[in-house]
Structure formats: C-alpha cells, structure tokens
Amino acid sequence: MSQRILVWDVPTRVFHWLFAISFAASWYISEADEWLSFHTFFGYLMLGLIGFRLIWGVVGGHYARFAEFMCSPLAGWRYLRQALSGAGARYIGHNPAGSQAVLLLLVLGLAVCLTGMFTQGAEEQQGAVSGWFGVKTGVMFREAHGYIAILMLVMVIGHLLGVAMESRLHKENLARAMVTGIKEAPQGSAVSKPFRGVGALLLMMAIAFGIWWFFYAWHEPVEQRLGHDDAKLEGPHVAFVGPKLSDNAQWREECGSCHLAFHPSLLPARSWQKLMAQQDRHFGTDLALDADVSAALLEFLVKNAAENSKREAAFKINRSIKPDVTPLRITETPYWVGKHREIADSVWRSAKVKSKANCAACHLDADAGTFEDAAMQLPR
C-alpha cells in the first residue's frame, strides 16, 4: 500500500530552483566583462542560498535534514553501481548517490562563491573583502574560481543524469516531484511539514535582494562613479570603479590637450622614459616641452607606471610584456591585444570608435584610468 505524501517542503524547493538558476545564469554570462555586475549578483545570491541550506539542513523538514541522508562515499558508490545495473533500491528522499551529489554541490558552491568574492576583492578592489589581497593573489583566486566552477558544472551534469536514470529506473518523475514536493511512499512513511511561511520568506528575501541590487545598478548616478558627465550605461550595470588613481593637473593639461590622457599605470616605466626621451618624434609630432615641464611629467609617469600600480589592468599589462621589450603604444602590449582580439572590425570602424586609441568609446572609466571590467560596454 502506498500514499502520496509531501517529501520536499516549500523552502527546500525554493532553494533548489533558485540555486540552479543562480549557477546557470552566472555560468552563462561569466565570459562577458560587461555583465560582471550580473555575475556578481548571482554569486552573492548563491552564497546566501547556501547559508540558508546549511541552516535548513539542521532545522528543516524531515527529508531536507542532513541527518536523514548523510552516508559514506562508499555507500553512494555502491548504490550507483546497483542503479547502473538496474537494481538500485528506491528511496523516498535522497538516495546515497544523490546525497553525495547534494553535499558536493554545496561544498563546491561555497568554494566557487568564496573564490569569486576573493577575486572581486583583489582584482576589482570591490565587494565584501575589498583590499584583503593584491592583484597577483587575485589572479590565483580567479584561476581557482574557474576550475572549481568547471568541476561544479560536471557535478551538475552528473546530478541531472542521475535524476534521469533514477526516474527511468523507478518510473517516477523526480524533477516534477521537486516542483510539487509530492511523491509516492509506503504507508507510515514520514511526512514533511510544508513550511510555507519560511519558503515565502526565503523567496521574498531573494526578490528583495534582486530589487535592491538592480535598483542600485540602474539608478546610481554613473557620472559620480566614473568621474565625467558623458558616461552613460545602457542598462543596469554596476561599474565597480575602484579607488581613484594618482592624478596630475600638468599631465592632464599637456597630454590631454591632444588625446585621452592615458594613465601612467598602463605602461611600464621604461616605456614612459623612452617616450619622453624622444618627445621630438612623438608619433609624428614634436611635443616641444620645456625642460622643467618635461622633468615634472617624467617624474609623475615613472612614479605611477604599471610596475608601481596595484590596479588589475596595470598588473596584467605589465606581466604580459617581456623584460627586454619596451612598447610605446598601449595597443601593442600582449594583454591589450589578447583582450581585444575578438572585437569585430566593424566596431573599430564605427563612427563612435574610429580608432583603437579611443578607449573612452567603450570604457566608461577611461578618463579615470581604472578600466574596470564592468565599466566596459561596446557602443551600439
């Protein structure tokens, strides 16, 4: 004799689908720098959901509690072998292999969120751990973040295959059960409480977080963050502009009179020294600077060159240049070339860009010199 009972309570189901959506969305937009604000949003949402699930695994419904489905890896492997042979036993809650998958996804999810947070704090100098680490350490966190995300994706695919396999083995729709919460169970089986109030609260908190995030991203005055009135973000983006870089009025006046005043942190000191040494042949122009002005500019440029900066763009540009190479154009550095390789020729030829030296056409913080990932947007 069997009966239809509530197995997955409302909070567990809300968590499950929000967690799945968060990971899928953050993965889908992970390669697009201009969508970094959305990627970060889903990362923080996923971290909050994991925190909830750890609590709910102790005080939640019967089948959601860790004590109900904790088992050894050996038991999970044994069940998987039985299921593949078509002889796996049916479980009302998580089977041993599914239990291992749930725990691993929570651990990997926590790891991917924390490494992402540390990457943001080190490379972007933003977020909850801003300034805790330097850019060099941030690169290590970014690499770890990527590898863990790939491992998590493999686990997700394995989880989906496991759900499909068990659904076919026991002739029941497990995905639908995670929507309705209802499963067939023998008479006398434990029944979960719905906890509708907790589930509604969890959903409301997630929605409130989303509304706050996007309202902030949508309405915060962009010109206050980017330092100039012409900066316009086409859509909800948080520019993540970090601390202001060193500035110099004389440098802006002399260099900015002809083109964008490229911040010294975008080239190594030896490049600025060579540029100033041959200022009479400055890309076809004689700068004609007097000795005092030239000395003052050189001092500012060398002091704030790439190797002396803690900003992400400066670190990666400088790291990409061989010690025996002295580039005179930012657009000739290997890092710049690699980052812009996939931009179509039509973008460079468009009326809004015209030149590779027109950084401000795409980088809303070009004038500030920070070149943050999320402050970049290709012109339409």
Report helix angle 135-170 to 312-320, nearest 10.
Answer: 100
Beta bridge partners of 376: 363
The residue segments making up the domain with residue 258 are 235-375
Instruction: Check: CB of residue 100 under 8 Å from CB of residue 159.
Output: no
Q: What are phi and psi of 240, to 5 degrees?
A: 55, 50
pLDDT at residue number 225: 44
Same domain, 163 and 45: yes
Q: What are phi and psi of 315, to 5 degrees?
A: -60, -45
Q: Write 341-350 long-range contacts (CB < 8 A, 24+).
A: 343/378, 347/378, 347/379, 350/379
Same domain, 160 and 282: no
Same domain, 6 and 140: yes
d(CA 248, CA 306): 16
Asked, for residue 224, whether it belongs to a domain, the answer is no
Same domain, 196 and 293: no
The total number of structural domains in the chain stands at 2
Give the domain CATH number at 10.
1.20.950.20
- Domain boundary at 192, 219, 246, which? 219
Same domain, 15 and 50: yes
Same domain, 180 and 276: no
d(CA 64, CA 257): 65
Asked, for residue 73, whether it belongs to a domain, the answer is yes
With a cut of 50, list the residues of the chain below it in pLDDT.
220-236
Same domain, 24 and 130: yes
pLDDT at residue number 38: 84
Same domain, 275 and 173: no
pLDDT tens per residue across span 70-88: 888 888 888 888 888 888 8
Q: What are phi and psi of 3, to 5 degrees?
A: -145, 160
- Report the alpha-carbon angle 208-214-216, nearest 5: 100
Asked, for residue 227, whether it belongs to a domain, the answer is no
d(CA 218, CA 233): 9
Same domain, 268 and 136: no
pLDDT at residue number 238: 54
d(CA 241, CA 33): 13
Instruction: Check: CB of residue 267 under 8 Å from CB of residue 330.
Output: yes
Asked, for residue 18, whether it belongs to a domain, the answer is yes
Q: What are phi and psi of 2, to 5 degrees?
A: -135, 165
Asked, for residue 225, whether it belongs to a domain, the answer is no
Beta bridge partners of 352: none
Instruction: List the one residue out of 126, 107, 104, 108 whose CA is nearest residue 117.
Output: 126
The pair of three-digit structure tokens given for residue 357, joined into one six-digit string: 């030296």
pLDDT at residue number 221: 43
Asked, for residue 228, whether it belongs to a domain, the answer is no
Same domain, 63 and 136: yes
Same domain, 340 and 211: no
Asked, for residue 380, whether it belongs to a domain, the answer is no
Instruction: Check: CB of residue 43 under 8 Å from CB of residue 113.
Output: yes
Same domain, 66 and 161: yes
Asked, for residue 341, whether it belongs to a domain, the answer is yes
DSSP string, 105-116: HHHHHHHHHHHH
Q: What is the CA radius of gyration of the chain?
A: 27
